[in-house]
């Protein structure tokens, strides 16, 4: 999940002391893209992570599931899965570059940006350990610390870095490091234990199991980490080129068409071969295609009418992401309703859609009264070392 601040101008802001960008100067198209991408993250986290064991996707699929559930899982795996996370990675990288550029006149730039990532790391670790082991914030904070020094370099360095890390990711997909992943029997045992503890255990039982499973979760992050860094750099490069500030409609829709057609072709060919997961190259291409399409549509004359509802959701993506984890853990874990392993993919998706729609209305209501979401306000306050104004003014 990313919640970078997106100003609508490329001019550096030199207020002293530095402060967050005013909400009136954000790029609505990027906020809308983030809000729509959040739906993809929600569906995957819910159907593949909260509803059942996160390890089940690595096991042989069960053929006893109803056709509607198999169809939902297939559509999510092929069409959404890692693509939504890739979009968030691109947006986070762009947001980090924007923060870097607008703090150019501040002697505290490095300190503020490191503090920003440090706060994100702290929140991510709390989320990872105490709420859900599918957290992505911790990985984002660590990747951001690696990307940050490169932002002092020229655009070509960002482009070369992006290509290098994405190539490393694709190479790891083809030749996984030996010994990185546990064997299938270990994964199957972990899934069985989760189904027993998560469905019926109290909070202390769930917490203890979550902490014990950290060594099994760690390889998943290692496997995806180069892609996260590469996409951060690609997002930063896109911002530095100006394509996100003043998007050209023809270019956006050309990228969208090429990315979606090529990405979908690679993904479908992979599926036809009987490979469970999307093609890694196809995943990146589809994410780029989705993002360009949404930005292109959002910048049409009717764009705000079509996608404006998603912008408040995107401005509060950090709060909404954590809120989803709290809601879904309360629904599926034993200390809540205990529905873990008891719902099909279609039923779980229906719950997810209801939660998402509720967040759309809640975000619009909240931002009509306040400048930031609650977690966004805390993040900015800790970053700048001073309480930020919260109430909206006329």
| Domain ranges across the chain | 23-384
The token duo for 256 is 């969208």
What CA–CA distance (Å, rounded) separates 80 from 103?
35
Residue 49: its pLDDT value, please?
A: 92
Q: Check pLDDT > 70 for residue 376.
A: yes
Comparing 58-72, 76-90, 330-344, the range with the smallest average pLDDT is 58-72
The token duo for 37 is 């991408």
Is residue 117 within 8 Å of 3, Cβ to Cβ?
Answer: no
- For the segment 342-352, what is each residue's pLDDT rounded down to a tens digit? 999 999 999 99
Residue 245: its pLDDT value, please?
A: 79
The token duo for 120 is 């994100």
Is residue 83 within 8 Å of 286, Cβ to Cβ?
Answer: yes
The token duo for 48 is 């593949």
Q: Check pLDDT > 80 for residue 195.
A: yes
Confidence grade of residue 181 (pLDDT, cut at 50, 70, 90)? confident
**Residue among 370, 279, 283 at smallest CA distance from 90:** 283
- For the segment 227-267, what is each residue's pLDDT rounded down to a tens digit? 999 999 999 999 999 888 777 888 899 999 999 999 999 88
Comparing 134-148, 302-316, 318-332, the range with the smallest average pLDDT is 302-316
What CA–CA distance (Å, rounded) separates 259 from 133?
31
- For the segment 47-70, what is each residue's pLDDT rounded down to a tens digit? 999 999 998 888 766 557 789 998
């Amino acid at each position: 999940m990313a919640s970078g601040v997106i100003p609508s101008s490329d001019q550096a802001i030199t207020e002293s002391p530095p402060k967050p960008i005013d909400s009136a100067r954000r790029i609505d198209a990027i906020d809308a893209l983030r809000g729509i991408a959040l739906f993809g993250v929600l569906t995957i986290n819910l159907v593949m992570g909260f509803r059942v064991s996160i390890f089940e996707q690595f096991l042989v699929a069960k053929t006893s599931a109803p056709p509607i559930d198999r169809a939902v899982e297939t559509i999510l795996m092929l069409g959404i899965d890692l693509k939504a996370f890739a979009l968030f990675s691109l947006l986070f990288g762009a947001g980090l570059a924007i923060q870097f550029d607008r703090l150019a006149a501040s002697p505290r730039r490095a300190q503020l940006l490191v503090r920003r990532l440090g706060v994100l790391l702290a929140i991510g670790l709390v989320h990872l350990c105490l709420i859900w082991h599918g957290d992505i914030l911790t990985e984002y904070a660590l990747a951001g610390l690696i990307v940050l020094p490169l932002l002092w370099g020229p655009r070509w360095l960002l482009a070369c870095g992006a290509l290098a890390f994405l190539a490393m990711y694709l190479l790891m997909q083809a030749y996984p490091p030996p010994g990185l992943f546990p064997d299938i029997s270990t994964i199957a045992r972990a899934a069985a234990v989760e189904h027993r503890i998560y469905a019926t255990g109290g909070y202390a039982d769930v917490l203890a199991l979550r902490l014990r499973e950290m060594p099994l979760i760690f390889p998943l992050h290692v496997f995806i980490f180069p892609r996260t860094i590469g996409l951060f750099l690609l997002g930063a490069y896109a911002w530095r080129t100006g394509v996100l500030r003043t998007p050209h409609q023809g270019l956006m829709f050309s990228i969208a068409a090429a990315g979606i057609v090529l990405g979908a072709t690679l993904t479908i060919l992979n599926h036809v071969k009987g490979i469970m997961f999307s093609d890694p190259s196809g995943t990146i291409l589809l994410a780029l295609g989705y993002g360009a399409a949404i930005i292109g549509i959002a910048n049409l004359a009717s764009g705000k009418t079509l996608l404006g509802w998603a912008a408040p959701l995107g401005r509060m993506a950090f709060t909404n992401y954590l809120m989803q984890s709290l809601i879904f853990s309360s629904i599926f874990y034993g200390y809540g309703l205990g529905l873990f392993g008891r719902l099909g993919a279609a039923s779980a998706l229906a719950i997810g859609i209801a939660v998402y729609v509720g967040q759309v209305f809640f975000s619009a209501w909240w931002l009509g009264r306040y400048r930031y979401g609650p977690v966004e306000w805390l993040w900015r306050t800790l970053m700048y070392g001073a309480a930020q104004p919260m109430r909206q003014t006329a």
